Amino acid sequence: MSSIISIQNLSKTFGSSFKALNDISLDIQRGEIFALLGPNGAGKTTLISIICGIANISQGRITVGGHDINSDYRAARSLIGLVPQELHTDAFETVWATVSFSRGLFGKPRNPAHIEKVLKDLSLWDKKDNKIITLSGGMKRRVMIAKALSHEPQILFLDEPTAGVDVELRKGMWEVVRSLQASGVTIILTTHYIEEAEEMADRIGVINKGEIILVEDKATLMEKLGRKRLKLHLQGKIDAIPPQLAPYKLELSDGGCELTYDYDTKGERTGITSLLSDLRNAGIRFSDLDTMQSSLEDIFVSLVRTSAAEHTR
């Protein structure tokens, strides 16, 4: 796969001192779904704003489809559709007018058939003559997506696309995104919902305090950082973990009724067999056990914590 967006050593400074983005380099591959994760204020929206031309670059260079976003902004921006986080709409316009306006703004000749298709794909067709002010939040979000798709972009930015959208609609949105990817559109989404990234993304980038702290294939990331946890529900309460079990670094919880063991899934030896036999030798019996795979959310939280700790050091 070739890269469609290339960001080199990008920095953004607000005012004289606040550095919102610090020396970011990142390549987005053609046709992928890239999820950008990060806590509030990490710089996700700033990064998107700069790529799309809404904010100026302080330092560095960005190309979109090989076109520099400053010197060749027309070619670069023509490729991009942006769905911002906030629901910025012209309240008194109709859905049809506002979506058609977006197409014109991006220099495309009128094409009612395309607008019709976009509105139908997003289940907005029956609302086409409604004023935007009369629509629900979820519908407004879809109008924003329709505006972004009106000019047939090759790249779609979705900034928190499912914030404040109910579960059903969120799943519908995911389907839209998947079908867009199938039609060859590259998608970059930022999200707070880790499950969204886990569900959708091909690759994941984590940004914190204006720095990209990780970019990885989702599967690799899960595998690399994925840990499993074994929970043993004991038959009887114990006061302390016997010393011979110390190497396993067990945790005792639930008032002495539960033992927790964390292990690495990628290791060849997980240590479970020996743990179970050592438990028996120590006379500890359990009534039940369960294992859990750590989610992307756990990975994310631990990454952000590590990066924060490095910052304060």
Partner 1 sequence: MNFEAVRAIYLFEMARTWRTLLQSIVSPVVSTSLYFVVFGAAIGSRITSVEGVSYGTFIVPGLVMLSVLTQSIANASFGIYFPKFVGTIYEILSAPISYFEIVLGYVGAAATKSIVLGLIILATAGLFVPLQIHHPWWMLTFLVLTAVTFSLFGFIIGIWADGFEKLQMIPMLVVTPLTFLGGSFYSVNMLPSGWRTITLLNPVVYLISGFRWSFYEIADVSVALSLGMTTAFLVICMIVVWWIFKTGYRIKN
The reply to whether 89 sits near partner 1 by the rule CB under 8 A is yes
Binding part of the chain for partner 1, among 75-83, 193-201, 236-244, 262-270 by CB under 8 A, reads 75-83
Sites for partner 1 among residues 214-273 (CB under 8 A): none
Token duo for residue 123: 């289940």
Pairing of strands 258-264, 227-234: antiparallel
Judged by CB under 8 A, the residue of 74, 240, 255, 269 near partner 1 is: 74
Looking at the DSSP bridge assignments, the partners of residue 33 are 187
In this complex, which beta carbon is closest to partner 1, that of residue 78 or of residue 181? 78
Count of beta carbons in the 10 Å neighbourhood of residue 237: 11
The reply to whether 163 sits near partner 1 by the rule CB under 8 A is no
* Distance separating alpha carbons of residues 310 and 33, to the nearest angstrom: 29
The reply to whether 97 sits near partner 1 by the rule CB under 8 A is yes
The reply to whether 52 sits near partner 1 by the rule CB under 8 A is yes
User: Do residues 299 and 307 make contact, with C-beta atoms less than 8 angstroms apart?
Assistant: no
> Which of 60, 37, 59, 293 is closest to 189 using CA atoms?
37
The reply to whether 59 sits near partner 1 by the rule CB under 8 A is no
Interaction pattern, residues 123-162, with partner 1; x per rule: CB under 8 A = ------------------------x---------------
The reply to whether 80 sits near partner 1 by the rule CB under 8 A is yes
How does DSSP classify residue 294? P
The reply to whether 112 sits near partner 1 by the rule CB under 8 A is no
Binding part of the chain for partner 1, among 91-99, 199-207, 224-232, 284-292 by CB under 8 A, reads 91-99
In this complex, which beta carbon is closest to partner 1, that of residue 90 or of residue 195? 90
Question: Which residues, 6+ apart, have CB-to-CB distance to 306 below 8 Å?
Answer: none
Q: What is the DSSP string of 84-151?
A: -SS----TTSBHHHHHHHHHHHTTPPP-HHHHHHHHHHTT-GGGTTSBGGGS-HHHHHHHHHHHHHTT
Judged by CB under 8 A, the residue of 16, 17, 56, 183 near partner 1 is: 56
The footprint of partner 1 (CB under 8 A) covers 14, 52-56, 73-78, 80, 82, 84, 86, 88-92, 97, 101-109, 147
